[in-house]
């Protein structure tokens, strides 16, 4: 009888130990679960992933071939936002037409303004074209400033540091790694920015002259010391008139401009026509990193973009 009691007690203790180990493993897994981050653009997703590493689980609400001003607020995005620990968005009214309804409908307090998971990346950059007069007749103008700052790695570096601080706040156990990694990413971006600015300065003044389709590339022009006499669009977001296209053509001929730069989500017909008429080249920028399918890093996207531009200008 004593032997049977001993066997029973031993078996019960073994089961107890197994259950305790299972609980500890579950607790450990919960503690180490990656922070769920939702971003509005692929560049922000790539930057969060580069800074956060294995400690973040990132998804983006838009594609690099999609105009970030006009994203379809699908129900699936509401679900993604409802489950998010952190929302990282561009700001400066880039997402004003589609993000607010998603925030309201997701019913997640963390991603509302003032919440613990609310991160407006534009707060940490040097904004260009702020305070411009804006009305409907002027086209797609952002009175708070031009929102396309992530085309400039100098501004991306500032966002990387700010993201490191925010992630460290939300994942305190990984604070040291996150802050150190953010500084590392920012340092790499500053190096890219300086190296490429020096390389572009080696081009002649005529070579550094470009035409852009939309007024979204002002940060690139400032960073690389380029000159842009005019845009293919006379007013941002408004299709160019024949008269304006004729002025662009005349300017390209008189100033010997051989490169037109535009983003993938804008129509290329007019740019291609102009390029044929003056034997120029159209350089099409991606609207962001190929993050969702290729896990391309923000720094890799910047390098890929700038290489295509330099190749065209240096012909």
Task: Name the burial class of residue 216, with classes exposed (0-12), middle (13-18) and buried (19+) by CB atoms within 10 angstroms of its CB.
Answer: buried
**Residue 28 domain-assigned (yes or no):** no
How confident is the model at residue 28, as a pLDDT?
Answer: 44
**Residue whose C-alpha is closest to residue 219's, from 315, 163, 300, 145:** 145
Q: Do residues 154 and 190 make contact, with C-beta atoms less than 8 angstroms apart?
A: yes
Q: 214 and 109, same structural domain?
A: no
Q: Do residues 106 and 81 make contact, with C-beta atoms less than 8 angstroms apart?
A: yes
Q: Do residues 265 and 285 make contact, with C-beta atoms less than 8 angstroms apart?
A: no
Final residue belonging to a domain, choices 194, 225, 249 = 194
CATH number, domain containing residue 232: 3.40.50.1980
Q: 294 and 259, same structural domain?
A: yes
Final residue belonging to a domain, choices 194, 228, 256 = 194
**Residue 268 domain-assigned (yes or no):** yes
**Residue 102 domain-assigned (yes or no):** yes
CA dihedral 297, 299, 304, 307 (to 10 degrees): -170
How confident is the model at residue 24, as a pLDDT?
Answer: 41
CB-side neighbour CA atoms (13 Å) of 78: 11
How confident is the model at residue 307, as a pLDDT?
Answer: 97
Beta bridge partners of 89: 120
How confident is the model at residue 131, as a pLDDT?
Answer: 73
**Residue 84 domain-assigned (yes or no):** yes
Q: 167 and 77, same structural domain?
A: yes
**Residue 234 domain-assigned (yes or no):** yes
Q: 185 and 57, same structural domain?
A: yes
Neighbours of 264 (CB within 10 A): 15
Q: What is the largest CA-CA distance in the chain?
A: 107
How confident is the model at residue 157, as a pLDDT?
Answer: 98
The DSSP secondary structure of 133-169, one letter per residue, reads: ---GGG-S--TT--S-GGGSHHHHHHHHHHHHHHHHH
Final residue belonging to a domain, choices 151, 169, 194 = 194
**Residue 5 domain-assigned (yes or no):** no
Q: 179 and 229, same structural domain?
A: no
Q: How far apart are CA 9 and CA 6, in angstroms?
A: 5
Q: How far apart are CA 10 and CA 61, in angstroms?
A: 54
Neighbours of 229 (CB within 10 A): 15
Q: 235 and 185, same structural domain?
A: no
What pLDDT, in 10s, does the model give residues 33-46?
899 999 999 999 99
Q: 275 and 218, same structural domain?
A: yes
**Residue 12 domain-assigned (yes or no):** no
First to last CA, the chain: 95
CB-side neighbour CA atoms (13 Å) of 235: 11
**Residue 18 domain-assigned (yes or no):** no
Q: 188 and 104, same structural domain?
A: yes
Q: 176 and 252, same structural domain?
A: no
- Owning domain of residue 265: 202-313
Q: What is the pLDDT along the chain (315 residues), one digit of tens a residue?
A: 545 445 444 455 455 454 444 444 444 444 468 999 999 999 999 999 999 999 999 999 999 999 999 999 999 999 999 999 999 999 999 999 999 999 999 999 999 999 999 999 999 999 999 876 655 555 566 788 999 999 999 999 999 999 999 999 999 999 999 999 999 999 999 999 999 999 999 999 999 999 999 988 999 999 999 999 999 999 988 999 999 999 999 999 999 999 999 999 999 999 999 999 999 999 999 999 999 999 999 999 999 999 999 999 998
Q: How far apart are CA 312 and CA 125, in angstroms?
A: 29
Can you say whether the dihedral through the CA atoms of 94, 96, 99, 100 is positive or negative?
Answer: positive
Q: How far apart are CA 140 and CA 296, in angstroms?
A: 29
Q: 167 and 63, same structural domain?
A: yes
Total domains, the chain: 2
Q: 214 and 184, same structural domain?
A: no
Enumerate residues 6+ apart whose C-beta is below 8 A from 53.
Answer: 177, 181
How confident is the model at residue 276, as a pLDDT?
Answer: 97
Q: 190 and 58, same structural domain?
A: yes
The DSSP secondary structure of 163-188, one letter per residue, reads: HHHHHHHH-GGGHHHHHHHHHHHHHH
């Amino acid at each position: 009888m004593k032997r049977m009691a001993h066997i029973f007690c031993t078996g019960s203790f073994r089961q107890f130990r197994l259950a305790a180990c299972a609980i500890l493993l579950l607790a450990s897994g919960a503690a180490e679960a990656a922070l769920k981050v939702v971003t509005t653009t692929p560049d922000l997703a790539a930057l969060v992933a580069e800074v956060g590493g294995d400690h973040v689980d990132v998804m983006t609400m838009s594609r690099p071939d999609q105009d970030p001003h006009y994203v379809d607020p699908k129900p699936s995005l509401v679900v993604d936002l409802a489950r998010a620990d952190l929302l990282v968005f561009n700001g400066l009214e880039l997402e004003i037409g589609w993000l607010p309804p998603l925030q309201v409908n997701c019913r997640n307090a963390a991603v509302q303004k003032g919440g613990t998971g609310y991160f407006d990346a534009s707060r940490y950059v040097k904004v260009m074209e702020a305070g411009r007069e804006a009305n409907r007749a002027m086209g797609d103008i952002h009175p708070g400033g031009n929102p396309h700052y992530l085309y400039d790695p100098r501004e991306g570096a500032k966002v990387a540091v700010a993201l490191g601080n925010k992630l460290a706040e939300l994942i305190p156990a990984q604070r040291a790694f996150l802050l150190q990694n953010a500084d590392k990413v920012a340092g790499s971006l500053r190096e890219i920015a300086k190296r490429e600015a020096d390389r572009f300065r080696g081009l002649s003044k005529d070579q550094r002259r470009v035409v852009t389709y939309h007024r979204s590339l002002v940060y690139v022009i400032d960073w690389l010391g380029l000159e842009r006499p005019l845009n293919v669009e006379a007013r941002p977001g408004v299709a160019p008139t024949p008269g304006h296209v004729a002025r662009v053509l005349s300017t390209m001929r008189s100033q010997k401009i051989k490169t037109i730069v535009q983003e993938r989500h804008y129509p290329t017909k007019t740019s291609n026509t102009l390029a044929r008429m003056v034997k120029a080249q159209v350089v099409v920028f991606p609207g962001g990193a190929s993050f969702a399918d290729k896990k391309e890093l923000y720094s890799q996207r910047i390098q890929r973009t700038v290489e295509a531009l330099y190749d065209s200008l240096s012909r």
